[in-house]
Structure 1
Amino acid sequence: MPPEASPHWPAHLPRHLVLPATHLYYTAEVSAARFPDKPFIVFYDTPITFAEFKEETERIAGYLQQCCGVQAGDRVLLYMQNSPQWMLAYYGILRANAVVVPINPMNMTDELRHYIEDSGARTAFVAQDLYERVVPLVGDAQAQLAQVIVATYGDYLKQPSSITPPEFVSAPRHIVGGDSAGVMPWRDVLDARLAPGPLTVGPDDLCVMPYTSGTTGKPKGCMHTHRSVMCTALGLVNWLRGTQNSILLSALPLFHVTGMQSGLNAPLFSGATVVVLPRWDRDAAARAIVHHGVTDWWSISTMAVDFLSNPKLDDYDLSSLRVMAGGGAAMPDAVARKLHDKTGIHYIEGYGLSETIAPTHINPPQRPKPNCLGIPIFDVDARIVDPETLRELPQGQTGEIVTHGPQLMQGYWRNPDATRDAFIEIDGKRFLRTGDLARKDEDGYFFMADRLKRMINASGYKVWPAEVETMMYDHPAIQEVCVIAARDAHRGETVKAFVVRNARHAQAVTENDIITWARENMAAYKAPRIVEFVESLPKSSTGKIMWRLLQDQEAAKAAQ
């Protein structure tokens, strides 16, 4: 039987959330009809109204269909920093009946190759600051990327700003191309003014495919439908009482499911205004809160720590803030207290995965608990089970979180084996195995205890050691490598690599050489910050590298 709901469920909310049976793009149409002249996006003081947003997404969709040959169900890559173009491209792709493949802008060329080949995307939206990483893949026989639409962030700086944009945002347009080269500037796409065909997909068709990795190394696409995306977007609106008068600060990366849902899909549904920051900057965030009267801000704990440690914090009037929420890593008690002392609000922690398109658990706003994942939200059946026997465990015992709910992905793209391993059946219902170990208290709140799966949490970014190891083996000096988590005062955890050098290169390469190479060949958050050369790696009787022994030794050393 499913567990009882927490006695601290918000009194104003139903336990069951009725979801719209619509395509996600319908939210853009409805908000444009309701609030045509109201700003949806504010980018360094340049507003984009709901009506303008809808019109530009339709032009993008028309170009995708008529010039790029994008058809219903096709996957389209989205590779940019937070920007109006990211948000417009997302909904333009949806309006073309296609599927969004959001990519971390930190990823490098070799990483991009996998996403393009695996998803089968032939069209990509790329920002000009990232364009050089994509160039080698255009026309590549394996990647088969045929069309690239290049965005210049500065196109949406149309009036003076109270916050000085960073150079990569204000940089003038410098990418030129044309259909023959497979490259088209963003402005030319809009200027073509091509109308799209009708919407033909529905709530149970694929909508977005964020990639996640795991123990096997290669990232996997999480298949989400319009219905599952609508589920957590609408859930956030209801849980935190979002309205058309809300003003949100979007500083979390939009490619990440929490940033995507809290900073784009949920506010579009409610008709709220989103103040967009392309990259984290604590002073820019504070000035944006003051200047625009920001009411809601989703962050990760490391962002909040950095924000509240600003020596100039008292210079800013933060009285407009009414909600500060997020997840990714536990919020330190001292920081949560400082936030409450400064603003009078509590940090609302939540928990979710790419596989659940953001939260399955959130703390009740009226009674949050510190260092807590929260309680299962609307229609979620979450249980604690023994990871070996899959038997449900009683309250207080630590086991694996398994979840059932309408926000679960359909499975992993073109990976039936991984899909099969990710799900189990309990009481005739399909549950996702999260790989996270937790316990549940007497009030139904979930508390993280450990990880069943091998993963590093660096400033809220999930780093999968097997993926990093796979890439590091491309270095000619590396014979064997094992990647673990090391404690880091700022990031919480950081990436450490134990490396066995092959004999031919043993004297010619240093630890710093390996670190530099890694930063040039993989996303910055994945690249090892620490490399330690060793003569050999511990192995089991079957020859497997005993990563957990190295991890335990590292933890013991840090504790000393």
Structure 2
Amino acid sequence: MTSPTLSGAMLAPALEPERPHHRFWPSRLPHRLTPPATSLWFNLLVSAQRYPDKVALVFFDQVLTYRELFEQAERMAAHLHAQGVRSGDRVILLMQNCPQWVVAHFAILRANAVVVPVNPMNRAEELKHYITDPDARVAVAAADLAPDLLQANAELPENQRLRHLVVAHYHDAMGPEADVPPAWTSWLQQRHATPALPDGTVADWANALACSDPPPAHDRTPEHLSVLPYTSGTTGLPKGCMHTHASVMHNAVAGSVWSNGTAENIGLLVVPMFHITGMVAGMHSGVYAGATLVIMPRWDRELAGRLISRWRVTHWANIPTMVIDLLASPNFAQFDLSSLKVIGGGGAAMPQAVAQRLFEQYGLRYSEGYGLTETAAPSHNNPPDAPKQQCLGIPFMSADARVVDPDTLKEMPVGETGEIIIRGPMVFAGYWKRPEATEAAFVTFEGERYFRSGDLGRVDEDGYFFITDRLKRMINASGFKVWPAEVETLMFRHPAIAEACVIATHDDYRGESVKAVVVLRDAARGHTTEQDIVDWCREHMAVYKCPRTVSFVDALPKSGSGKVMWRLLQEQESAKAASGTAQ
């Protein structure tokens, strides 16, 4: 018997016979689809049987076929099983984009376990939570990131520590003639000594792949957990989003179908795979279709231009700042983007002038989408043939979305602002070990259970959704979500900080950047500078979360109940930006 909580995520919503946005629906597509009733592992199995010698992954100048990808995932699954990984166990995956990330991801699924994808920008203090909260005992990590993970591990109680670690080097997946940006050479080529794991074991990637044990029988079904990506919120530490094989499978298939997915597609995979968009819309959709994925470990505009030109990339999911950066390259005229057929993304609005240039120069309509970690990436997307600019799009395949009054839950009229709520088979099953947070994240609307996005938006007369504001407190820096409460929690560990409030500040390139308003302890005043705080933050948290500016104040404004009035500080900062006086 399946769990009602998990199996409930599989149910498609009962859509109304006709909604305004259906007039713009791609004529070739149904409004909903029936995804395969199998685990995600079978997508790789099927593609490897269909296209064994077809290139699955490209990493600089090295290629991996679907047969090789399948065989490596099988071997790694056997190794994980030999190290004690059992059905339902959570396994940490900590790497930048690389072929080993894809192999490890499918190996964890093949071993009947759950992938815990972790942002490689996280530092030791942040990584502790990703070991303890999912009760992880095994991890797969890049060699350059292993020291922070092991430092975090060493500072935990013995009964919460990792017992096994697999370490991989990026250059093992690269050829000798790799076209590496000069700034990346030492990072990608460096060979790290095999680390020690006190009271545990460590395996080099090659040794793990040499495992001759048989992998376990695969027993996962659609309602089982598949991935546990973490998302932060208005309070506390990041929460794990429980996604089943079914919820990820739906959007993997729907994303492929929506974008004309075939085995002939060649995708540029530069959006991080630890993030739900890169993982689902990039990797899983591509593997389901049997497509070729050209992998970039990080963003570099010159490398992106060369890879698109050389490999004749047809599909590119991105964040708008990447496109802006590529178009601004002094070498842009040397790149050949004529192979691109589908381009789009989310995380921030695409400037209208840039979208117009793409259309005029290449006939490409930039298609924006919208989704959250809780919705396995897209819950909304623009129809490829009828996109609107600076628009979230229309409810995605099998999804229903409404705009309601956040207090009364009454549906708002066309054009009026309210909270976006979402229902569909891509919606997660709930927050890991957080029943109260799960309950608060859902509402009953018209007799059905909808997820509260926390974003404020409106719907136009055509049924297209537009975001207008945030109900939740969040900063959007180049598509990276920064949750002030999490940054504040980390900053309070600085011995000189008595109080801190994190707000957004305007940034012409990133959209928003992080600013910290800080009250120093008496003993630190006159001895601690704003730059000292910035430098400390860079050592203790992911760089995209770090405050770019710090402002010292004698006291933070507080309400009668003693709560910091962050909205007042945010409004003051926004007013400065509007008047042109923001620093």
Counterpart amino acid of residue 92 in structure 1 = A
2: CA distance, partners of 1:328 / 1:447 = 13
1:362 aligns with 2:384: no
Find the aligned partners of 2:418 and 2:153 in 1 and give their Cα distance. 46
Residues 435-491 of structure 1: CA deviation (Å, up to 9, x unaligned): 000000011100110000000000100000000001100011111110000001111
What is aligned with 1:532?
A: 551
* In 2, Cα distance between equivalents of 1:262 and 1:303: 17
- 1:148 matched to 2:148? The reply is no
Deviation at 1:197, TM superposition (A): 1.1
| In structure 1, distance between residues paired with 2:501 and 2:179 | 47
Distance 1:172 1:471 in 2: 31
Q: Is the 8 A contact 2:123 2:541 kept in 1?
A: yes
User: Whole-Å Cα distance in 1 between the matches of residues 214 and 545 of structure 2?
Assistant: 41
Q: What is the CA-CA distance between 1:270 and the residue it aligns to?
A: 0.2
Residue 135 (structure 1) aligns with: 150
Matched, 1:81 2:96: yes
- 2:29 is matched with 13
In structure 2, C-alpha distance between the alignment counterparts of 1:59 and 1:465, rounded to whole Å:
41
Aligned amino acid, residue 75 of structure 1: R
- Indicate which of 468, 474, 479 corresponds to 1:460: 479
User: Residues 217-366 of structure 1 correspond to what in structure 2 (within 5 A)?
Assistant: 217-366=236-385
**How many pairs does the alignment contain?**
559
Report the CA distance between 1:341 and its aligned residue.
Answer: 2.6
Cα pair 2:78 2:214 within 8 Å, conserved: yes
Secondary structure at the counterpart of residue 33 of structure 2: coil
The 3-state SS of whatever aligns with 2:133 is helix
Unaligned runs of 5+ in 1: none
CA distance in 2, matches of 1:261, 1:178: 32
**Contact 2:55–2:64 (Cα < 8 Å) also in 1:** yes
**Contact map agreement 1:163 1:287 (CA 8 A) in 2:** no
Whether 2:391 is the aligned partner of 1:376: answer: no
Q: CA deviation at 1:5?
A: 4.8
What's the offset of the Cα at 1:163?
5.0
**2:55 matches 1:39:** yes
Q: CA–CA distance in 2 between the matches of 1:304 and 1:124? A: 34
- Distance in 2, matches of 1:246 and 1:171, equals 33
CA contact (8 A) 1:125 1:150 kept: yes
- Give how far 1:24 is off: 0.5
C-alpha separation in 1, matches of 2:531 and 2:178: 41
- What letter corresponds to residue 194 of structure 1 in structure 2? D
Deviations 1:254-278 (A, max 9, x none): 1011111122100000000000000
Q: Distance between the aligned counterparts of 1:406 and 1:500, measured in 2?
A: 46
Q: Distance in 1 between matches of 2:179 and 2:121?
A: 28
2:129 is aligned, of 114, 127, 143, to: 114
Q: How big is the shift at 1:177?
A: 5.8
Structure-1 separation of matches of 2:434 and 2:85 = 23
How far apart in 2 are the matches of 1:92 and 1:169?
Answer: 23
Equivalent in 90, 108, 126 of residue 93 of structure 1: 108
TM-score (norm 1): 0.98
Match of 1:494 in 2: 513
Q: Deviations over 1:205-239 (max 9, x none)?
A: 00001100101131000000000000111111011
Asked if 1:160 is matched to 2:177, the reply is yes
Residues 150 and 197, structure 2, Cα contact 8 Å, conserved in 1 = no
SS at match of 2:318: strand
How far off its partner does 1:242 sit? 1.0
- How far apart are the structure 2 equivalents of 1:544 and 1:380? 38
Distance 2:196 2:54 in 1: 34
2:130 match: secondary structure: helix
Contact 2:164/2:197 (CA < 8 Å) preserved in 1? no
Residue 501 of structure 1 aligns with an amino acid whose one-letter code is L
Q: Distance in 1 between matches of 2:524 and 2:163?
A: 39
1:178–1:393 Cα change, 3 Å: closer
Matched, 1:124 2:143: no
- What do residues 410-446 of structure 1 show as CA deviations (whole Å, max 9, x unaligned)? 0000001100100011122110000000000011100
CA distance in 2, matches of 1:517, 1:300: 28
1:183 has 2:198 as partner: no
- Confirm whether residue 48 of structure 1 aligns to residue 67 of structure 2: no
1:553 and 2:572 aligned: yes
Aligned residue for 1:525, secondary structure, equals helix
- Per the alignment, residue 10 of structure 2 pairs with none
**Secondary structure of the residue that 2:545 maps to in structure 1?**
coil
- Alignment partner for residue 409 of structure 2, among 365, 380, 390? 390
Structure 1 CA distance for aligned equivalents of residues 193 and 332 of structure 2 = 37
Cα gap change, 1:158 to 1:178, in 2 (>3 Å):
farther
- Specify which of 489, 496, 519 is matched with residue 538 of structure 2: 519
Aligned equivalents of 1:342 and 1:416: distance in 2? 51
How many angstroms does 1:376 deviate by?
0.3
For 1:178 and 1:325, locate their aligned partners in 2 and report how far apart those are by CA, in whole Å: 42
Between the aligned partners of 1:538 and 1:193, the Cα distance in structure 2 is 63
Separation in 1, partners of 2:32, 2:282: 24
The reply on whether 1:194 has 2:213 as its aligned counterpart is yes
- The one-letter amino acid paired with 2:121 is M
Contact 1:137 1:144 in 2 (8 A): no
C-alpha displacement of 1:193: 3.1
Looking at structure 1, the residues matched to 148 and 377 of structure 2 have their Cα atoms a distance apart, in angstroms, of 28
Aligned position for 2:119: 104
Q: Decide which moves more: 281-290 or 342-351.
A: 342-351
Match of 2:437 in 1: 418
Q: What is the Cα deviation at residue 161 of structure 1?
A: 3.1
User: Is the Cα–Cα contact under 8 Å of residues 245 and 273 in structure 1 kept in the other structure?
Assistant: yes
Structure 2 alignment gaps of length 5 or more: 1-14
What's the RMSD between the two structures over aligned residues?
Answer: 1.4
- Counterpart CA distance in 2 for 1:515 and 1:500 is 14
Instruction: Look up the equivalent residue of 1:13 and give its one-letter code.
Output: L
Partner of 2:357: helix, strand, or coil? helix
Identity %: 51
Query: Match for 1:57: what amino acid?
Result: A
Q: Which residue of 1 aligns with 2:188?
A: 169
Aligned-pair distance for 1:181?
A: 4.9
> In structure 1, what is the Cα distance between the partners aligned to 2:338 and 2:198?
50
Which residue of structure 2 lines up, in the alignment, with residue 444 of structure 1?
463
- CA distance in 2: counterparts of 1:126 and 1:117, whole angstroms: 17
Distance 1:279 1:10 in 2: 33
Distance 1:449 1:195, change over 3 A: same
Distance in 2 of aligned mates of 1:164 and 1:520 = 25
Letter in 2 for 1:468: V
Counterpart code for 2:333: D
Structure 1: how far apart are the matches of 2:484 and 2:542?
13
Letter in 1 for 2:377: A
1:59 is paired with a residue of what secondary structure? helix
